[in-house]
Structure 1
Amino acid sequence: MVSYRKVEALSRGLTILRYVNEEPDATVGSLHAKSGLDKATIVRMLETLEHEGYVTRGGGAQWRVTGRTILLSGGYSAVREMGRLASPILSESREILKWPASFGIFDRDAMIIADTTHDWRGMMVTRQPNHRPPMLTTSLGRAYLAFMDDRERNALLDLLRRDPTGWNVMANKPGKIRDLIADIRAKGYAVADNNYMAHTFGGDIWGMSVPVRGKTQLYGALVIMVLRRVIGEEEGVLDLAPRMLEVAPRIAEALGG
């Protein structure tokens, strides 16, 4: 528990920077829709971030992050190291998994992509390393959530309830979360929320994940992205879930056994 009240202006500025980072061409309108902040506040935050060199104004009213934002992650090495260890297994397992795959680890209130094969066989999915998928609507987040230690999961859900907007709305529905966790534990895999996939990929893709865990430690989760026109979700899980459950322990072994 912190011993002081948060600096509201700093919190809002970081929120706007995060949302600009999530969009190729953010606008004041799109940032307003995501954050709920009034537009005058958003403009002040953007112009301050521009002055500090973290965002730049594109053509018209569009905003983008600059290369300076890379400096903010320079001291964070866990995702790079775990991605380096998982990468050979993902590469070796391409023919087993059949579809583009990623390995993600937990990062406070979301997952973060450590390594990916999403450019495989010409199927481009815009989920590069360091992307942070939400916990409650992505298969990656759900697979990790279901197998977390109870105390850690409760702390995460308490955190998400403080900002139950966007893709965290389910944080305020404990019964639905309990049912979701029980279902994932029984099946051994998780699938993504259809509304999230339709919003993010236009409904062309569905996602499935399994936890990556050793005997005593949960390392992260493995996710594959599948084209619906090739194989549907109901048919796909029957074939692909066993393949993922074969690869996941190999990643866990590479990460420490």
Structure 2
Amino acid sequence: MREYRVKPVRSLARGLRVLRVLQEMRAASLHDLHLATGIPKASLTRILHTCHREGLVWQRMADGAFLPSHIQQRRAKIDDAEWLVEIASPVLKRLCEQTRWPSVLSVPRLDYMETIETNSPLAYFDDVMAKPVGFRVNMLRSASGRAYLAFCADEEREAVLRRLRERDVAGHELAHDGERVRRIVEQTRRRGYSVRAPDFGGDYGRPRAESDDGRNSIAVPLRVAGQVLGCVNLTWRLRVMSAKEAARRHLPELRAAVREIEEEAARS
């Protein structure tokens, strides 16, 4: 570009910086952006409001997170849960017919996974009442949360871990043990699938000794255009088989189902 003897527009530069950081994080709270950019929250609010009016940023109602808007229609659908459910539902139905155990499709929010679809009502082997759509699943203790954290971008994972550390609630303790989290991520990547934390019995914050759904789960990430859109798990009664046995029996079917969803999502 030619050298112009003019001053740069500082307000524009700050706005572009916010957009760049938001693209790297994928989704961020106002506090996340303040920490990442050093820009005061009042100024950030004006920047985000302006970007929203210009169609560059949108705010998710579920958790208040800010996300970059995508001009291309397919890219815009990446954060559209209803679109993903429409694609995944028939695939999950067929998966349940094959395995006869239930599965859940969940997507990442700021610091938890949210259930958006399940084939549990169709499961032959499982009569445990399914968690409702919209149920919040622990990010660090569930199989789905661990699959997401292991395969998402490093920037996403670090942002999630920071949010978990900042919220002093039961179930977030592991976020303070960086070395253990690193080992979980590496082990999950080597296996290609995740498993529940041994003491996770389905409750967000309480250990299995206090709240036990009698299940175990494995999960794999659902990736499109280089992003983890969500995770699909397979869950079964703990007394029936180990996680290794469940993976031996059903991981090929679970992976095939996820590939089918990924391919259809990429085409649509």
The TM-score by the shorter chain falls in which range? 0.5 to 0.7
Rounded Cα–Cα distance in structure 2 between residues aligned with 1:115 and 1:241: 19
Match of 2:230 among 209, 220, 223: 220
Rounded Cα–Cα distance in structure 1 between residues aligned with 2:241 and 2:211: 16
- In structure 1, the gaps of 5 or more residues are 5-71
Aligned counterpart, 2:140: 136
Deviation at 1:201, TM superposition (A): 5.8
Q: Please give the secondary structure, in 2, of the residue aligned with 1:123.
A: coil
Is 2:259 the partner of 1:249? yes
Determine if contact 1:140/1:221 at 8 Å carries over to the other structure: yes
Q: Please give the secondary structure, in 2, of the residue aligned with 1:230.
A: coil
Determine if contact 2:111/2:163 at 8 Å carries over to the other structure: yes
Rounded Cα–Cα distance in structure 1 between residues aligned with 2:132 and 2:213: 19
Rounded Cα–Cα distance in structure 1 between residues aligned with 2:244 and 2:94: 26
- In structure 2, the gaps of 5 or more residues are 1-33, 35-39, 43-60, 66-78, 202-207
Match of 2:167 among 135, 159, 163: 163
Deviation at 1:200, TM superposition (A): 7.6
Aligned counterpart, 1:205: 215
Deviations 1:200-229 (A, max 9, x none): 862621111011113523211001111123
Rounded Cα–Cα distance in structure 1 between residues aligned with 2:144 and 2:209: 17
Rounded Cα–Cα distance in structure 2 between residues aligned with 1:164 and 1:249: 37
Higher-Rg structure is 2
Deviations 1:48-100 (A, max 9, x none): xxxxxxxxxxxxxxxxxxxxxxxx76x99933332222111111222333310
Rounded Cα–Cα distance in structure 2 between residues aligned with 1:222 and 1:254: 15
Counterpart code for 2:255: L
Determine if contact 1:140/1:209 at 8 Å carries over to the other structure: yes
Aligned counterpart, 1:111: 113
Deviation at 1:165, TM superposition (A): 2.9
Deviation at 1:128, TM superposition (A): 1.8
Determine if contact 2:146/2:194 at 8 Å carries over to the other structure: yes
Aligned counterpart, 1:86: 88
Is 2:182 the partner of 1:145? no
- Sort the Cα spacing of 1:147 and 1:200 in 2 relative to 1 into closer, same or farther, 3 A: farther
Is 2:200 the partner of 1:196? yes
Q: TM-score, normalised by structure 2?
A: 0.64
When the two chains are superposed, the root-mean-square deviation of aligned CA atoms in Å is 2.4
Counterpart code for 1:214: V
Rounded Cα–Cα distance in structure 1 between residues aligned with 2:166 and 2:256: 37
Deviation at 1:149, TM superposition (A): 0.5
Q: How does 1:39-78 map to 2 (within 5 A)?
A: 78=80
Q: Please give the secondary structure, in 1, of the residue aligned with 2:87.
A: helix
Deviation at 1:234, TM superposition (A): 3.0
Which stretch of structure 1 is more off in the superposition, 207-216 or 178-187? Answer: 207-216
Structure with the larger helix share: 1
Aligned counterpart, 2:247: 237
Rounded Cα–Cα distance in structure 2 between residues aligned with 1:125 and 1:174: 35
Q: How does 1:14-53 map to 2 (within 5 A)?
A: none
Deviations 1:4-29 (A, max 9, x none): 6xxxxxxxxxxxxxxxxxxxxxxxxx
Which stretch of structure 1 is more off in the superposition, 208-217 or 129-138? Answer: 208-217
Question: What percentage of residue pairs aligned between the two structures are identical?
Answer: 24
Determine if contact 2:153/2:227 at 8 Å carries over to the other structure: no
- Sort the Cα spacing of 1:102 and 1:237 in 2 relative to 1 into closer, same or farther, 3 A: same
Deviation at 1:129, TM superposition (A): 1.2
Which stretch of structure 1 is more off in the superposition, 161-170 or 183-192? Answer: 161-170
| Total equivalences in the alignment | 189
